[in-house]
Structure 1
Amino acid sequence: MKPLVLTFLACCSLILAGCANPGVVQISPDTYFISRTDKGGIFGNASKMKAEVIHEANEFAAKQGKVAIPLSTQETPMAIGQFASFDYQFRVVDKDDPEAKRTALVPRADIVVEKTEKIAADVKTKEEKAPDLYTELTKLDDLRKKGIITDAEFEAAKKKLLEK
């Protein structure tokens, strides 16, 4: 009976070791990642889990005499059939590094709402100028001299320009 109990306990410890938190994972020379899942279900505490992850990152950096700078976070709330989880990516920099002074995460939208509608707008790309009377009359006269328009058409267009 004793060997059976010992075998059972050994199997349980192997299974639990496989489910253990992997700890701090290095993803580049100065960038690290911690991922944690709260398997407490309705009895779990997601806020405590997040605080522990951030604390672990800060301790990791402090052991190296450095500071942990948050890069990104991703959290999944607990839902039916889903445990709460928290992923934390951070950089480890010297305490004198300029980035150590700016430690706030850049806010990003959780939800993006796209609204598509047609609107009417009076858009002018160039400033409209009143045509120069002298230039217009010169163009008309040039057209008449080249025989493109008749004298009657010239007079009608000239009268129209002068009335504006």
Structure 2
Amino acid sequence: MKTWMYTGALCLALVGCAANPPVTSLSPDTYMITRIDKGGIFGNAAAMKADVIGEANEFAAKQGKVAVPLVIHETPLRGCPACWASIEYQFRVVEPSDPEVRRTSLVPVAPRSEVIIDDRTAPNGQPPLPPAKDLYSEMLKLDDLRKRGLLTDAEFEAQKTRLLQGR
């Protein structure tokens, strides 16, 4: 008897895990449906997409309206553990006479990426000054050239004076 109770409880738990999330309201006339296909290589992302679109159409038909697609974002199955295929479908529910019903294409979603804007203009609108030279490292280079005999003492002093005066 206990075995049957445990089996029944396990079945109920598994059925609860398999339930799809409901249609989510984003605004008074805009909704979203999300699904994750955890079938891995045995799953069918195309069937999942068709089911989601069909569910959106059924949802709108129950209200006597039409589902107009806004955005669909699909993530394909990837080759890593727990990287499942998923879909997010956003749609509007409008009257059948609405002119938007005749629109036939989805708005493409821009790829998600990070954009870094590097504005190097000075606050006064002038172009930035070139970075200041590191005098210490320049002096070390000159001294190294003098020690190796590539610069004479006079050339070294002339270059040192030029560096220190900032020319």
Task: Report how far residue 5 of structure 1 moved.
Answer: 2.6
Is 1:69 the equivalent of 2:68?
yes
Structure possessing the higher radius of gyration over alpha carbons: 1
Task: For residues 110-147 of structure 1, give each alpha carbon's deviation from its aligned partner in whole angstroms, at most 9, with x where no partner exists.
Answer: 377x9xxxxxxxxxxxxxxxxxxxxxxxxxxxxxxxxx
Specify the alignment match of 1:88 in structure 2.
89
Task: Report how far residue 12 of structure 1 moved.
Answer: 3.4
Check whether the contact 2:71–2:109 (CA below 8 A) recurs between aligned residues: no
Is there any run of 5+ residues in structure 1 with no aligned partner, and where? Answer: 115-164
Specify the alignment match of 1:78 in structure 2.
77
Deviation beyond 6 Å, 4+ runs, structure 1: none
Specify the alignment match of 2:24 in structure 1.
25
Task: Give percent identity, aligned residues only.
Answer: 55
Is there any run of 5+ residues in structure 2 with no aligned partner, and where? Answer: 116-167
Q: How does 1:99-110 map to 2 (within 5 A)?
A: 99-110=100-111
TM-score (structure 1 length as normaliser): 0.62
Aligned-pair Cα RMSD in Å: 2.2
Check whether the contact 2:70–2:90 (CA below 8 A) recurs between aligned residues: yes
Whole-Å separation in 2 of the counterparts to 1:95 and 1:84: 32
TM-score (structure 2 length as normaliser): 0.61
Task: For residues 52-81 of structure 1, give each alpha carbon's deviation from its aligned partner in whole angstroms, at most 9, with x where no partner exists.
Answer: 100110111112111101111111111122
Specify the alignment match of 2:48 in structure 1.
49
